[in-house]
Amino acid sequence: MKIVEKNIEDWIKPYATIVGDKLNVDESLRETNPSEFYLRLTLPSQFESYAIALHSFWINHKIPIEKVFTNENSNEEFPEEDYSRINWKEFCLRKGREFDLNRELNSRIKHTDSYDKQLNNELYPGEGLMDNEHLLSLIEIVNELYGNQVIDAFYTFLSTKNWEKDLIYSGKISEMPKLFDIENLRLTPSLIYPIERNWVVNTDYDLPFSTIGGETEFISELSKRNPNEIIIINR
């Protein structure tokens, strides 16, 4: 994929929360139904189906249980390879509580958890950082359903290391994994969409999940291949 000099397409630009228009979304939904609130905030209403891709928790199983403690501003770092990804439902199980999507969304977004504090063997879901597994699954399904579509991948300046300007890469979706290796890109694309406009992914820089809209078959396949990680939202 190559950097192109163009703007985000008008149909999706209002949903790019940094450079787009401020959308009028019912604020009461933020508390009562956050999954619906963030879908309205980040995606247009033109699609058949919608889903939320929950960015993974990470657990370091190499730390002995006797050395696990509440992580309060600790600067201790461990190698990335020591961590294993787990989904939100598995994390809730570790904490002895039942998974409820809206409750967990509110907990993660507010950066508070009334049940516990972060432990030193835990990494919480990355904001603006969609799981590679989800992106690779998306590429595979798009190729199966629609062929090797031409897409735009938009990076807000906050998704880059130099924080200088927004970037748009354009090219075949099969080429998207090459973006993961570009040193200047510290997060995943803020927006990914094809020229056909039949699906879109929004990975807001400030949210620990991504929102996805598209045709029912597309959304169903994503959820089926990523159980308990990409969750269909019935609207």
Residue 4: count other Cβ atoms within 10 Å of its Cβ.
11
Q: Is the dihedral of CA 104, 109, 113, 119 positive or negative?
A: positive
Q: How do the pLDDT tens digits run along the chain, 235 residues long?
A: 999 998 889 999 988 865 445 678 888 898 899 999 999 999 999 999 999 999 999 999 888 888 887 866 566 677 778 899 999 999 999 989 999 999 999 988 877 665 567 888 888 999 999 999 999 999 999 999 999 999 999 998 778 776 678 889 999 999 999 998 888 888 899 999 999 999 999 999 889 999 999 999 999 999 999 999 999 999 8
- Distance between CA atoms of 185 and 157, rounded to whole angstroms? 9
- Distance between CA atoms of 153 and 113, rounded to whole angstroms? 33
Cβ pair 48, 216 in contact under 8 A:
yes
Put simply, whether the predicted model's pTM sits higher than 0.85 gets the answer yes
Strands in the chain per DSSP E: 2-3, 49-54, 57-60, 83-86, 122-123, 150-155, 167-172, 191-194, 199-202, 209-214, 230-232
Instruction: List the strands of the sheet with 209-214, edge to edge.
Output: 2-3, 167-172, 150-155, 191-194, 199-202, 209-214, 49-54, 230-232
Nearest to 88 by CA among 117, 119, 54: 54
Helix (H, G, I), strand (E, B) or coil at 149: coil
- Distance between CA atoms of 43 and 184, rounded to whole angstroms? 26
- Distance between CA atoms of 76 and 213, rounded to whole angstroms? 39
99 burial (CB, 10 Å; 0-12 / 13-18 / 19+) is middle
- Two structure tokens written together for 92: 């809730």
